Structure 1
Amino acid sequence: MILRHLTCLAFAIGFPATAFAAEDTNAWAGQFATINLDEKVYVRLEAQERFTNDAERLGQLLLRSLAGYRISKNVNIGAGYAYVRTDPVGPALLNEHRFYQELNVRLLTTGGGVTLDSRSRLEQRTFEERDGTSWRMRQFVQLRAPISAHNKLVAYTEPFVDLHRTNVQRGGLSLWRNFVGISVPLARNAEIVPGYLNQHVFRDGDDRTDHTANINLYLTL
């Protein structure tokens, strides 16, 4: 009963209307490694490859790193850097250098293995081809719930809010991502999570909705 209500809530608050929006089909892959240096300090490394335009071309490559610290069992903080190469059809290629800070909080844990997690991330985005710094806030909330002895439902929602308007940001709500998938363990400290990701892009003209086949690999070392 709890699982059903939480899943319905995630879908209800997470999926914005997509009427009157252009659409694209994407395929995204991600590789994430968390390296525990001790009980408190960890490093996270990741790479993401995003194939756009009916999944025919590499539209974006993201390489990200983070150094984190566990304040308690349910709270950790971190800061990091990401390089993002965006190569859309038509507009000019962008090379982005992104600095960010984040706060992660475990909001809920039940005896049945259901967890609810929050990540608040503040980004400072600079571009080789543009002047200035663009500030953006992202609020990620993820539900994980057992559906079998070895698999979990994974669902998340994440709105992106531009804190001001710049030559690369429209200001206000700019993106909204929502995902639903299944975790598949590969080994004790490794799992893959395939699923469907819906990305709604808010634009000054017509909005765009991306329908994305998304598969991520997670490692803990």
Structure 2
Amino acid sequence: MISSTARGAAGALFLILLASRAEARDDNQLWTGATATVKVSDKFRISQEVVARFSDNRNGLYEVEAVTMLGYKPTKNVTIAAGYVHNPLYSSGDFTAMEHRAREQVQVDNFAQVGSGQLSARLRLEQRWREHADGTAWRARPYIKYAIPLTKDGKTNLNLSNETFINLKNTAFQAADGVDRMRNLISISTPLSGKLGIEAGYLNQYGFVKHGDDTMDHVATVTLSLNL
């Protein structure tokens, strides 16, 4: 049975999404992902993630992210990581542009308990380049997650998270200053086996458009994770 804390947190997120609903142009999307993390020592991890994104308004596949990261854990709950993002873009399934990114991040897991749940946070910094386009675009992506256990063993969780994209240094393909978009996710994560897990849910991506209509993407998400 879902606790009152979980119901209250999920209800608050729903009200936030509902409040912004009327002012945005909508799109229905599907994001599928898979991540494999290999423990190479007590302190170091290597991870490989692949995400494919599909859109009704863009007539199918519009983006693939392949992310390779090296992580270092100075403590049990802190991970410092850096890596590379290979990011081809598509329209109606046809290739349109290639983006490359450098990514650095610091993640702190379970740094505070609120009710029955745990708070985690991450600060991600990215430098973006596009082929045949000048300049380097910089952005920050602060992220916070509230995980509420749904089972006594604590392995199945209701997750509520927010990630905000803040543009820092712009180019022709990243033209707007400040807050660019916001992702709010409600999901359930659970293990499928000792090393394999799944997370599925609904993500609302709200895009802030200067001098135009804002955008809102309604996204069904499913991600498999493998830890070796």
Partners of 1:15 and 1:34 in 2: CA distance: 36
CA RMSD of aligned residues (A): 2.4
Select between 127-136 and 54-63 the one with higher mean Cα deviation. Answer: 54-63
Aligned to 2:139: 136
In 2 relative to 1, CA 43–14 (structure 1 residues): closer, same or farther, beyond 3 Å?
farther
Displacement of 1:106 in angstroms is 2.3
Are the equivalent residues in 2 in contact too, given 1:10–1:157 (CA < 8 A)?
Answer: no
Count of aligned pairs:
219
In 2 relative to 1, CA 155–144 (structure 1 residues): closer, same or farther, beyond 3 Å?
same
Are the equivalent residues in 1 in contact too, given 2:5–2:115 (CA < 8 A)?
Answer: no
Partners of 2:189 and 2:16 in 1: CA distance: 22
Matched residues, percent identical?
33
> Quick check: 1:115 aligned with 2:115?
no
1:17 is paired with a residue whose SS is helix
Displacement of 1:108 in angstroms is 3.0
> Quick check: 1:161 aligned with 2:153?
no
In 2 relative to 1, CA 55–130 (structure 1 residues): closer, same or farther, beyond 3 Å?
closer
Q: Return the match for 2:214 from 185, 202, 207.
A: 207
Displacement of 1:207 in angstroms is 1.2
Displacement of 1:2 in angstroms is 4.6
Q: Return the match for 2:179 from 139, 149, 173.
A: 173
Question: Structure 1, residues 83-117: CA drift from partner, whole Å, max 9, x if none?
Answer: 1112246xx92210000110011253559873211
Aligned to 2:223: 216
Unaligned ranges ≥5, structure 1: none
Aligned to 2:108: 105
Displacement of 1:53 in angstroms is 2.0
**Any runs of at least 4 consecutive aligned residues in structure 1 with deviations exceeding 4 A, and if so which?**
1-16, 109-113
Aligned to 1:24: 27
State the one-letter code of the partner of 1:152.
N
State the one-letter code of the partner of 1:137.
A
Displacement of 1:214 in angstroms is 0.5
Aligned to 1:34: 37
Aligned to 1:45: 48
Are the equivalent residues in 1 in contact too, given 2:10–2:186 (CA < 8 A)?
Answer: no
State the one-letter code of the partner of 2:192.
L
1:73 is paired with a residue whose SS is coil
Aligned to 2:77: 74
